[in-house]
């Protein structure tokens, strides 16, 4: 179990983590989500004693990381897959970790086999691809057979087979009663892996809830209907106190009433339904909704819409047609910002 209480980290005037309090429990996969700059990596580093908190406390099975004897037997972590000596072979990298934590040599062979790196065990790590480096990092996390595992972006660089493998690995570890704490920006993958979510934004806790509750609380759920007897269906729904909204394409949308109730009403009145489907937002949509005010780094699209090109209008925020970016109105082509960087300087 991982316990955080009032955990805070400041870098000068910048508050990276702000009074975080939550518990990561065993037996489930807990996803750790947040926009870039939210404080996820800083929180994980404080868990492992790599950064000291400004205030608050974080404990692993009731102890600080520095108090753990042979810590790899308590918690295994993957924070940076490239944090290894490139001149060592995969086997020797893991052997060094094993010897420093009282782990038998045979365990190195076991984890190399688990992650699929036995064939390259004698190759130097500096020649590994990003995906192979990820697998070696995961092997290091598994080395001490710990009860707590923590992964930061574990599928980064993995191919589809590797992604499927790590997903099933995390689920199986949780099913064994272990604590699994994983951070990722891949919402589609997190939706398939995590049972519980902890979401932070600008260092503050935004949500600590189950996957299902998170999506339900931060998105709209409704029922979509299509029927060749649309007008009769609208009358039946209205008479039952159910409001249906036209959604285009001949479809209707109903909020606040389950598909079972609507299906029963249609059957009672012998109405034909071509579609009766519950609709719910994805994890990504729910996440974007919750964290909209917590995004620190915004990208700005600078594109021209189809109507703009036809009408000769400039894209939003862009220069007028025929004017290059950075070129002032009336300025000759090639005379905009940075245009002279290739010109030879006088006196050279």
**Domain with 251 in it: what CATH number?**
3.30.70.980
Residue 295 covered by a domain: no
Give mean pLDDT, residues 209-233. 89
Residues of 181-200 as b/e, b for ≥16 C-beta within 10 angstroms? Answer: bbbbeebebbbebbbbbbbb
Q: What total of structural domains would you count in the chain?
A: 2
- The pLDDT tens digits of the residues spanning 22-70 come to 999 999 999 999 988 889 999 999 999 999 999 999 999 999 999 999 9
User: pLDDT band at residue 219, thresholds of 50, 70 and 90?
Assistant: confident
Do 194 and 65 reside in the same domain of the chain? yes
pTM: 0.74
User: pLDDT band at residue 313, thresholds of 50, 70 and 90?
Assistant: very low
Do 40 and 161 reside in the same domain of the chain? yes
What CATH number has the domain bearing residue 28?
3.40.50.300
Residue 347 covered by a domain: no
For residue 213, is pLDDT > 50? yes
Residue 327 covered by a domain: no
CA distance 4 to 44: 11
Do 131 and 257 reside in the same domain of the chain? no
**Interhelix angle 130-142/106-115, nearest 10 degrees:** 140
CA distance 265 to 244: 14
Residue 205 covered by a domain: yes
For residue 287, is pLDDT > 90? no
pLDDT reported for residue 81: 77
Give the percent of the chain with pLDDT over 70. 84
Q: Which of the pair, 20 or 285, is modelled with greater confidence?
A: 20
Name the residue range of residue 257's domain.
Answer: 218-281
pLDDT reported for residue 16: 93
Domain boundary among 281, 300, 320: 281
Domain boundary among 216, 238, 254: 216
Neighbours of 68 (CB within 10 A): 17
Return all residues near 28 (Cβ < 8 A) that are at least 6 apart. Answer: 174, 180, 195, 196
Query: Over the chain, what is the mean pLDDT?
Result: 85
CA distance 305 to 324: 18
């Amino acid at each position: 179990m991982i316990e955080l209480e009032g955990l805070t980290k400041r870098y000068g005037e910048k508050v990276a983590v702000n009074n975080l309090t939550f518990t990561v429990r065993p037996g489930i996969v807990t996803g750790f989500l947040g926009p870039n700059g939210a404080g996820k990596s800083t929180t994980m580093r404080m868990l492992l004693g790599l950064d000291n908190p400004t205030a608050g406390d974080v404990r692993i099975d009731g102890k600080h990381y520095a108090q753990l004897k042979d810590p790899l037997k308590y918690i295994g972590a993957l924070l940076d897959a490239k944090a290894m000596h490139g001149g060592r072979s995969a086997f020797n990298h893991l052997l060094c970790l094993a010897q420093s934590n009282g782990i038998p040599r045979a365990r190195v062979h076991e984890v190399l086999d688990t992650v699929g790196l036995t064939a390259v065990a004698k190759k130097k790590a500096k020649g590994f691809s990003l995906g192979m480096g990820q697998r070696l990092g995961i092997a290091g996390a598994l080395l001490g057979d710990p009860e707590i595992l923590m992964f930061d972006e574990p599928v980064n660089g993995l191919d589809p087979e590797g992604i499927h493998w790590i997903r099933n690995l995390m689920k199986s570890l949780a099913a064994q009663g272990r604590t699994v704490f994983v951070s990722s920006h891949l919402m589609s993958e997190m939706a398939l892996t995590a049972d519980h979510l902890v979401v932070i934004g600008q260092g503050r806790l935004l949500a600590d809830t189950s996957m299902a509750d998170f999506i339900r609380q931060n998105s709209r759920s409704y029922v979509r209907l299509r029927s060749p007897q649309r007008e009769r269906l609208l009358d039946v729904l209205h008479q039952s106190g159910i409001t249906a909204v036209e959604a285009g394409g001949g479809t209707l949308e109903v909020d606040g009433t389950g598909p079972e109730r609507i299906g029963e009403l249609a059957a009672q009145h012998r109405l034909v339904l071509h579609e009766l489907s519950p609709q719910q937002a994805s994890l990504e949509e729910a996440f974007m909704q919750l964290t909209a005010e917590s995004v620190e780094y915004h990208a700005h699209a600078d594109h021209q819409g189809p109507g703009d090109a036809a009408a000769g209008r400039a894209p939003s925020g862009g220069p007028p047609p025929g004017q290059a970016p950075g070129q002032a109105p009336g300025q000759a082509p090639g005379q905009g910002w940075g245009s002279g960087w290739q010109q030879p300087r006088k006196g050279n």
